[in-house]
Amino acid sequence: MGIPFDQLGRLFALWGHRTYPDWAWPLLARSLETLPPTARVLDLGGGTGVLARAALAARPDLKPVIADPARGMLRHAPPGVEVAVARAEELPFGAGRFDAVLVGEALHHFQEPVAALAQIARVLEPGGLLWIYDFDPRRGIGRWVYWGERLLGEPARFFSPEALLERLAEHDFTGVYEARGGRYVLSARLAGTPRATAHPA
């Protein structure tokens, strides 16, 4: 069972952005302002590229790559954006390839999220940005999403933001989060010095 993502590309391309709350977008834009010019950004589990589109709207100079195992989703990616058919647990990129990794409503779908976090740390530059939007299974809408995904046969491997920060610390990340009504945005940095100065605000 499970959600047939490979067959839902057109639907997600039209409606995927509507599943994000309005308050999440300014937080994404603010995080992206800290990246260097022409930063390399991985939209991981990105499907049709909702976060890649938002990133380019905020910072047209960015160089996004969308990685997802569902070819049917990637067929609806923004024109001109690089895509890769890949699982989060086995990323086909070299170490330090990206300045930022964005994960929107995807971490809980990964079969092995802990292994995925290790891969994220590997492909990020020292000082790189990790931005995650997801649901807290303990409260608000997050509880409904958790049980709904369990019923649909999805992995439903949700983290509370506190538990996720603890896991990320094991990979030398430090970060903060903002939570509202069972949703949260987490922004973290890998240890080390970023490759260049931040993009001017």
Residue 199 contacts residue 37 (beta carbons within 8 Å) = yes
Neighbour-count burial for 112-131, b at 16+ CB within 10 Å, e otherwise: ebeebbebbbebbbeebbbb
Q: Which two tokens stand for residue 8?
A: 């839902």
DSSP H or E stretch at residue 27: helix 24-32
Residue 126 belongs to some domain of the structure: yes
Q: What is the 3-state secondary structure (H, E, C) of 28-68?
A: HHHHHCCCCCCCEEEEECCCCCHHHHHHHHHCCCCEEEEEE
Distance (Å, rounded) from C-alpha 129 to C-alpha 175? 9
Model confidence at 201: pLDDT above 60: no
The answer to whether residue 88 sits within a structural domain is yes
Q: Which domain holds residue 31?
A: 5-38+49-57+67-190
Domains identified in the chain, total number: 1
CATH code of 165's domain: 3.40.50.150
In a domain, 128, yes or no: yes
Residue-wise pLDDT tens digits, 82-92: 999 999 999 99
Q: Average pLDDT over the chain, rounded to whole?
A: 89
The string of pLDDT tens digits covering residues 136-172 is: 999 999 898 878 878 877 788 899 999 999 999 999 9
In whole angstroms, give the CA distance from residue 86 to residue 76. 16
Q: Residue 183: pLDDT band by 50, 70, 90 thresholds?
A: very high
pLDDT of residue 9: 46
**75-79, 102-106, 146-150: which is most confident:** 102-106
Q: Is residue 43 part of a domain?
A: no
pLDDT above 70 coverage of the chain, percent: 88
User: pLDDT tens digit string along 109-126?
Assistant: 899 999 999 999 999 999
